[in-house]
Structure 1
């Protein structure tokens, strides 16, 4: 027998798994197989290794064995499969040191630190063990002559166990990154999604679970109802459920599982069912979350239950904090809208003017390339553009005819009055509103008021609000004029492009006219506004 052959002498003990042709009991649950890659230029080595590992299982999962006959072929497999657990790597293949070159490329070029590399050689002189262990990042070194069936089983078993633990540590690292990112961005719109994704990743890593969902609902789902009801929002998902993320339904979820989730909701308690764990998480704002995870087998749930409950309770507090912050922001926005409406009501402006201006502002901001967060800020601040009118006498503010020069001088003071009211705040929303109040009557050509700013010296939020305000004012009836037909409104903007208005914003208004008109039609002044 050549020293490139695997030997299977009669040294395996009769009661050993390898000798009996069996390993662990197979799980009744279908689990993702552990992948191993055989890299050897001898076909017989591949065949014999496959034969020995035919019945191998680890934690209920079988093996998926891949084959490569050169170092280059092995690297291609590793590029295509980022979840290979073990590489059984020969040294001498297309070159005397092909296996060593491959091992170095795995670690340095592919930056794969998780896969366990077991060097197998029939020619130890080509790769002395001490030199290889010191200079190459491999995890085990075996002479082919010593790899009996039992030792091969033991080697693969311990290597997969090591890979599992390394993978778990990496998942914890990724999960912690999600949690840290969410902690640093509680004031961002997607922070709930980021935090929930981190929760799922952390739970999978900490408790070795798989296939999970994090859902929220605004109402009670009865036992007979399903998760396809529109009241559900699947915030985050992993594994086979990942395709459901961001939707209101999940076809991958079996109906019997849906029923179990609804039982947990109905009973307002956590539930363990076979290989599934369902956590019911109420929040302070009368909503509730559902955490659903699966395990490879129904064993050891009781050991995990208490830890899971502590973990999910702490997570629930974090979500409550996010919802509380969201409520504060919404309240601030509502106050600004109401104040803006008070001013517009006093000046006999149309009922939905500030609402339409806010929506126009957001549309134009996003079209200009402003971030979603800043576009929302501009929208929330724009209703305060005329807040300074509270300091203008009714005799001027409500005059139906043209103002005299002296009256117009007083009217122009509403920009500085509004700015003075808001500028001392340390809240970004109010300081943005102060800038808008101060600059929404500046003109692109420098002939506006109160400071005669020109071009891009005018803050973007002021330029955008100016376009939105005039577009709405011209297209609706005011105390001093009738509504203009839309063709005349557009003609006015063409005429004032580069004069009164930022030319880029005029182009964006024209390109986004359909979206603006939808807002105009939705918030018609014929519909009473509830206050």
Structure 2
């Protein structure tokens, strides 16, 4: 009994659909065979002869066409057909040869096995057809007994299977080669995981010899606590990204996965990089997986594991750089005997203000990391001026004012984004919106937004902190000062944003509070 049968009939009107599908649902995958002949008895005889046929556990599904045009539409609509039994003569013409040319030359389908059948061999001599047309077999209808048809179809399906295996291997390898360099360049674990999940499902979809429905799954990685958390997942899992994998699987299930137990519909595996970073992949709806699929998925994962190690290494380097930058900022502030949390508060204020201003998360983070270097130029100022308790002389104040340019000179030659941002902030955080600041006397939006943001964050914290030359101001006095200096010292838009989100700034102040400096 056939798993599924496609019937094609001639339309009685132009508006009538050309194809009609009579479908019997079946759990089995099938081989699709197109029968092209203008005699209905040939179709019936072919179906009857092959009614019990199976190859590698899969039955047949038929598509019938009776004219040249129907044959072209059939092969166009069914590019996954494995075999086409094609009559040379259709309605008195050698139209079957035209169909061969259409398949190979126009559609560029070199996978389907074409078996020419003819009842009039004198109209298309075998030696000519074999030489001039890309077909795979040529048979006279008189010799196409049920036994011969069975043999020919078995040989053709075996060839098709092997050709598709080679093609799938080729495509999978091309995908892996194309993705390898970009995977290694990935900077985010979540973005990497998302790409990997797509690559894995795409490799599985390459196998046209297997009927697979919607593929779904997730990728999880082990955190420092030894628990796995979900980095990426398909939509049907809901919003589980960032959550523990225990929200999806029980401890017993995970243990079974580690032991290699699986079902016929899923794929799962734990992978461990050479630096010990462990990743878990789970896919559903895959059905049976061929050896070549397993090998290519594991090849892809070798590249992925290298990318994971690369990300963790870059992350470690980045965290070290952040620590150095922050320590450098703290050291420069410590020399001027400023409060211990000044650098941290200014960094957090700046990030918050950048986000409220509308800068992207990534850029706001750059500002947060770079802001601690705003006073790094103070390393070039002598202690007797930097920590003078009384009023500075005009010459001393000019020396103090030079710390912005000194900081810029220290940082400007780095090609790192954070260092470049730090150079801008160091140079411009004492510029004023009205053009009366220093060192360059920039005005309005000629001052980089990083400098305008840091100016508000720095002054807000400085006014609320004890210094060698003053006591901390109360909050209402600080807010009155900002209202007075809006459009003068500070960017008026940023001041309005600051006032509109004041509770969040005060929360940062309280979280990193110096007890003696609370206002």
Residue of structure 1 in register with 2:28 after alignment? 57
CA distance in 2, matches of 1:282, 1:239: 27
Give the secondary-structure state (helix, strand or coil) at the position aligned to 2:22.
helix
Evaluate the alpha carbon distance shift between residue 491 and residue 501 of structure 1 in structure 2; reply closer, same or farther with a 3 A threshold: same
2:483 aligned with 1:478, yes or no? Answer: no
- The answer on whether the counterparts of 1:337 and 1:384 sit within 8 Å (CA) in structure 2 is yes
2:326 aligned with 1:326, yes or no? Answer: no
Residue of structure 1 in register with 2:349 after alignment? 360
CA distance in 1, matches of 2:367, 2:467: 24
2:450 aligned with 1:461, yes or no? Answer: yes
- The answer on whether the counterparts of 1:87 and 1:116 sit within 8 Å (CA) in structure 2 is no
- The answer on whether the counterparts of 1:178 and 1:198 sit within 8 Å (CA) in structure 2 is no
Within a 5 Å distance, the mapping from 1:337-376 to structure 2 comes to: 337-376=326-365
Residue of structure 1 in register with 2:281 after alignment? 291
Q: CA deviation at 1:475?
A: 2.8
CA distance in 2, matches of 1:513, 1:362: 14
CA distance in 2, matches of 1:457, 1:305: 58
CA distance in 2, matches of 1:494, 1:102: 76
Match of 1:278 among 263, 266, 269: 269
Residue of structure 2 in register with 1:235 after alignment? 231
Evaluate the alpha carbon distance shift between residue 350 and residue 305 of structure 1 in structure 2; reply closer, same or farther with a 3 A threshold: same
Deviates more, 1:38-47 or 1:469-478: 38-47
- The answer on whether the counterparts of 2:435 and 2:443 sit within 8 Å (CA) in structure 1 is yes
Give the secondary-structure state (helix, strand or coil) at the position aligned to 1:273.
coil
Evaluate the alpha carbon distance shift between residue 471 and residue 258 of structure 1 in structure 2; reply closer, same or farther with a 3 A threshold: same
For residues 247-276 of structure 1, give each alpha carbon's deviation from its aligned partner in whole angstroms, at most 9, with x where no partner exists: 334755477533324x46xxxxxx353444
- The answer on whether the counterparts of 1:274 and 1:298 sit within 8 Å (CA) in structure 2 is no
| TM, length-normalised to structure 2 | 0.66
- The answer on whether the counterparts of 1:333 and 1:380 sit within 8 Å (CA) in structure 2 is yes
CA distance in 2, matches of 1:446, 1:246: 47
Q: CA deviation at 1:523?
A: 1.4
| TM, length-normalised to structure 1 | 0.65
Give the secondary-structure state (helix, strand or coil) at the position aligned to 1:373.
helix
For residues 344-398 of structure 1, give each alpha carbon's deviation from its aligned partner in whole angstroms, at most 9, with x where no partner exists: 1221211111111112222222333333332222221110100111222222222
CA distance in 2, matches of 1:363, 1:462: 14
Residue of structure 2 in register with 1:17 after alignment? none
- The answer on whether the counterparts of 1:89 and 1:117 sit within 8 Å (CA) in structure 2 is no
Residue of structure 1 in register with 2:218 after alignment? 213
Q: CA deviation at 1:481?
A: 2.8
- Count of residues in Structure 1 that have an aligned counterpart in Structure 2: 441
- The answer on whether the counterparts of 1:368 and 1:505 sit within 8 Å (CA) in structure 2 is yes
Match of 1:445 among 434, 437, 442: 434
Give the secondary-structure state (helix, strand or coil) at the position aligned to 2:268.
strand
Which structure has the larger Rg over C-alpha atoms? Answer: 2
Give the secondary-structure state (helix, strand or coil) at the position aligned to 2:23.
helix
Residue of structure 1 in register with 2:45 after alignment? none
Within a 5 Å distance, the mapping from 1:43-442 to structure 2 comes to: 49-50=22-23, 54-55=25-26, 57-58=28-29, 180-184=181-185, 186-187=186-187, 191-197=191-197, 200-201=200-201, 204-205=204-205, 210-219=215-224, 231-238=227-234, 240-241=236-237, 244-249=240-245, 253=249, 256-261=252-257, 263=258, 271=260, 273-275=262-264, 276-282=267-273, 284=275, 287-294=277-284, 296-297=286-287, 308-442=297-431
CA distance in 1, matches of 2:408, 2:388: 24
Q: CA deviation at 1:101?
A: 10
Q: CA deviation at 1:513?
A: 2.7
Evaluate the alpha carbon distance shift between residue 46 and residue 320 of structure 1 in structure 2; reply closer, same or farther with a 3 A threshold: same
Could you list the runs of 5+ residues in structure 2 that have no partner in the other structure? 33-60, 85-89, 116-140, 142-148
- The answer on whether the counterparts of 1:283 and 1:289 sit within 8 Å (CA) in structure 2 is no
Residue of structure 1 in register with 2:53 after alignment? none
Q: CA deviation at 1:194?
A: 4.7
Q: CA deviation at 1:180?
A: 5.0
- The answer on whether the counterparts of 1:341 and 1:354 sit within 8 Å (CA) in structure 2 is yes
CA distance in 1, matches of 2:242, 2:318: 23
CA distance in 2, matches of 1:283, 1:376: 31
